[in-house]
Amino acid sequence: MISATEALERLREGNRRFVSEQANSGQQGSQHQRRELATGQEPFATILGCSDSRVPVEIVFDQGLGDLFVIRVAGNIIAPSLVGSVEFAAAFFGTPLVVVLGHTQCGAIAATVDDLTRPGGSQSPNLMSIVNRVRPSVLPLMNTELRHDLDALSREAVRANIRASTNHLRHGSELMETLIEEKGFRVVGAEYSLETGVVDFFDLG
């Protein structure tokens, strides 16, 4: 298995190919590759990303079958089952890198900002379970000048939410804490730009 640093560079290179429209053809895999992967997998990175249809992880990073262990949930939030999924990839497949991937114009962030600025709405209990997990990272921003500019507030909230998720994974799992200390395991945060296609790895731990 490659190192976390090598895995990160592989993702950077794939995103550069995607942005420059030089993605590898046939990356989704041949019949031979599919048959080989039926007996096992060795993904080189785990991506915890948002469910947004505009951020298909394998395409954004120009990777194919068996390359990435992808977990997607609205708002790239952290909950026990999601931590467990990340732990599963690390423990069973040896993935050395986790990327928490948020994106610009995130709907979960917008729903949270809306709830904070116009409380008492009619959002469903299930949607509120997502908003409630995003809220702690957005609420401090409401006490700054950003509260007067909701677009700027939302941009900062996206990154604050990513940082909250990366911190939770780094410090909320005994397994991952051990891997970080002893095996060079890394958890990093990144933001995908819907406008440019560029992934900015801004929270490297």
Tens of pLDDT, residues 9-65:
999 999 999 999 998 855 556 677 778 788 889 999 999 999 999 999 999 999 999
Residue pair 108/74 in contact by the 8 Å Cβ criterion? yes
So what's the pLDDT on residue 121?
Answer: 64
What global pTM score does this model have?
0.93
Residues 164-189 have a mean pLDDT of 97
So what's the pLDDT on residue 117?
Answer: 85
Distance CA 98, CA 177 (A): 13
Q: Residue-wise over 137-173: b if at least 16 C-beta within 10 A, else e?
A: bbeebeeeebeeeeeebbbbbbbbbbbbbbbbbbeeb
So what's the pLDDT on residue 25?
Answer: 58
Q: Are strands 186-192 and 199-203 parallel, antiparallel or unpaired?
A: antiparallel
Distance CA 134, CA 198 (A): 23
pLDDT at 149 over 90: yes
So what's the pLDDT on residue 37?
Answer: 82
Tokens of 79: 């909950």
- In order of their start, the domains of the chain are 4-203 (3.40.1050.10)
pLDDT at 166 over 70: yes
So what's the pLDDT on residue 27?
Answer: 57
pLDDT at 164 over 70: yes
Residue pair 12/201 in contact by the 8 Å Cβ criterion? yes
Residue pair 148/141 in contact by the 8 Å Cβ criterion? no
Tens of pLDDT, residues 133-145:
999 999 999 999 9
Q: Could you write out the DSSP letters of every residue in 84-147?
A: HHHHHIIIII---EEEEEEETT-HHHHHHHHHHHS-S----HHHHHHHHHHHHHHGGGGGSGGG
* Mean of per-residue pLDDT scores for the chain: 93
So what's the pLDDT on residue 29?
Answer: 63
Residues 77-85 have a mean pLDDT of 96
CB atoms under 10 Å from CB of 88, counted, come to 15
So what's the pLDDT on residue 119?
Answer: 72
* 141 Ramachandran zone, left/alpha/beta (phi>0; psi -120 to 50): alpha
